[in-house]
Structure 1
Amino acid sequence: MVCSLKKDGSLRLCLDSKRLNEAIKRYPHKTPTLEEVNPQFHGAKWFSKLDAKAGYWSVQLDEQSQALTTFRTPLGRYCFTRLPFGLNISQDIFQQRVAEILEGLEGCVGIADDICVFGKTEEQHDKRLLSLLERAKETGLVFNSDKCFIKQRRIAFFRNVYSEDGTSPDPDKVKDIKNMPSPQHKEDLQRFLGLLTYMGSFIPNLSQKSASLRQLLKKEKPYDSSEDHQQAYDMLKDAISEYSSMAYFDTTTSVTLEVDASLKGLGAALLQNGRPVAFVSKTLTPTQTN
């Protein structure tokens, strides 16, 4: 058994299932991406977010599967009767269960253990929220009241903030990035670039702007940061707050696609009514530049 601390300070019990994971054949269930989810919020003005309480433990294991989770303790052997943390298929199974629960419900999106309900009017939002609660009661899904936010005008959901005006990076995530000290090792830089990758759609030409920093991560090279690298690092920290809000994609409105290319990379911006909807970029490999 392995224990880890949750954000609220409580303990999370995880099964040390390294050997078991080696024998499990995964059937991955696709988790919705933000790129797929964002257009659904177009026109929404009211939002709620509900957190599934002990989400994995809402999934019952059959007897054969229970036996496979057996672990030893000084007091004897025990096994899990519910889906444990630690299995490489736990997230796939739970995400599939969430998808099954939400099937047929309009204005409901579930990613991991968070479910967001949205509507264009109060009446529509309330009706959709009630439908979700009724479905949760039918299926045995329980919510954590301390982590639920009901009938908000803006909501933080899976690293982004959603409102009537559009979507923007979670201010807490932006603050974390801006407060990060200059990286002293490859691991520090890797963590910084990893956080930026999650917010790549908010930063134009991210790949080109971060190209010099990613060169420092090459295994065959020692970490040797220069003043130019520091300038690139500072520029990226500022870039994350350059676009405070991105528009939702509107299927009824024409689009403008702006593209840019250089010897180092490619970039594009999708706009509607002059507002950015998404940014994408790619660094060219040495083979592609020759």
Structure 2
Amino acid sequence: MAKNTIYSALDLRDGVYQILTRESDVALTAVSTPSGILWEWLVMPQGLENTSATFNRCVTHLLRSVRDFAPRYFDDVFVHSRAVNGKTDVEVQKEHLRKLLGLMLKHKHKLYANLKKCIFEASKIPILGCLVGKNGVRPDPEKVRVINEWPTLSNVKELRQFLGLATYLCKYVENYAGKIRPLSQLLKKEAEWKWTAECQQAFDAVKQGLTEAPILAVADQDRPFHVVCDTSDFAIGCALMQHDHEDRDRVVYYQSRQLKPAERNYPVHDKELLVMKYALAKFRVYLLGSGPFGPRFTANCSEVATHLATDDEMVVVLR
């Protein structure tokens, strides 16, 4: 979706219920109710082992010719466009929508959208808990508001609920794993619940990190990536970076995790190699096929770089 300026989102109505059950399989879906009535599904019911796979395969096959500008996720289809060949972004968007809607109606098993949930020709659209627009990706303001208004935690259950939502948004927070360490210590089996000043500081740091979260760049496969790595005594972290069309260094994705007890005993250069391996694994789908890229060591993660170059900020290009 990089470089695009206008977006639409379509919600396929009733999801898997749009797929008809094969006539010979209708009897296999029979359900007996307490009233003694036998019901059989004429459309694909939810809960079957192959329901999601069948629905995905059907919709993917049907919309395969428009996947370059209309990617989808289950029952959501996202259309993105930009000005090309002398046409405005609105004109291109309308062409894309006509092609998409034409395919949805052309097939013998037509796909229908829920008009009330559709968004057309907007500057940004919600996608999987975030807002995507021409300026980049940012967390859903409603989820950030919930985090900011979360009261002080009083037990493990509340802590799990808080971390569940916060971790969903962790890609926007630098060194998230390091920030939540005092909180995660309370989740250990033998830990006694004690809300300390350090826990409150970590709680506030997560809130602040999401409130001040940067607008992440939409990954552009036509531009090179570079990875920034860092490590501490208790956590490792990395960021996938990319220069935008204005040559600004933008974050695409943050990743971090806490070190295991054995890993904390590693010498510094081994920790730095560990974070490099971690970054390669986490950002693999972005880096494969993108050409050479460079992991850059920050001021706190320079021992490996010292062995490889005299400049701690030197970019090491892996081929």
TM-score by length of 1: 0.79
Please tell me whether the aligned partners of residues 66 and 81 of structure 1 are also in contact (alpha carbons under 8 angstroms).
no
* 1:100 match: 61
Residue 180 of structure 2: which of 189, 195, 210 is its match?
210
Sequence identity, in percent?
26
* 1:12 match: none
Deviation at 1:195, TM superposition (A): 1.4
SS in structure 2 of the partner of residue 282 of structure 1: strand
Equivalent residue letter for 1:44 = N
Are positions 1:134 and 2:94 aligned together?
Answer: no
Residue 164 of structure 2: which of 189, 194, 197 is its match?
194
Deviation at 1:202, TM superposition (A): 0.8
**In the TM superposition, what are the counterparts of 1:1-290 in structure 2 within 5 Å?**
41-62=1-22, 63-64=24-25, 66-105=27-66, 106-120=68-82, 121-139=89-107, 140-271=110-241, 272=243, 273-290=248-265
SS in structure 2 of the partner of residue 108 of structure 1: coil
Alpha-carbon displacement from aligned partner over 1:183-215 (angstroms, at most 9, x marks no partner): 322222112212122222111111111122122
Equivalent residue letter for 2:258 = T
Deviation at 1:101, TM superposition (A): 2.4
How far apart, CA to CA, are the structure 1 residues paired with 2:194 and 2:30?
46
Q: How many residues align?
A: 250
How far apart, CA to CA, are the structure 2 residues paired with 1:237 and 1:147?
30
How far apart, CA to CA, are the structure 2 residues paired with 1:48 and 1:161?
12
The 1:198–1:92 alpha-carbon spacing in structure 2 relative to 1, beyond 3 Å, is farther
Equivalent residue letter for 1:130 = R
How far apart, CA to CA, are the structure 2 residues paired with 1:170 and 1:204?
17
Q: Of the two, which has the highest radius of gyration?
A: 2
Please tell me whether the aligned partners of residues 47 and 153 of structure 1 are also in contact (alpha carbons under 8 angstroms).
yes
The 1:212–1:93 alpha-carbon spacing in structure 2 relative to 1, beyond 3 Å, is farther
SS in structure 2 of the partner of residue 286 of structure 1: coil
Runs (4+) of structure 1 exceeding 6 A deviation are: none
Alpha-carbon displacement from aligned partner over 1:127-151 (angstroms, at most 9, x marks no partner): 2111110111123111001001111
* 1:37 match: none
Equivalent residue letter for 2:212 = E
Relative contact order, CA 8 A, sep 6+: which one is greater? 1
The 1:188–1:86 alpha-carbon spacing in structure 2 relative to 1, beyond 3 Å, is farther
* 2:296 match: none
Equivalent residue letter for 1:182 = T
TM-score by length of 2: 0.73
SS in structure 1 of the partner of residue 211 of structure 2: coil
Please tell me whether the aligned partners of residues 30 and 38 of structure 2 are also in contact (alpha carbons under 8 angstroms).
no
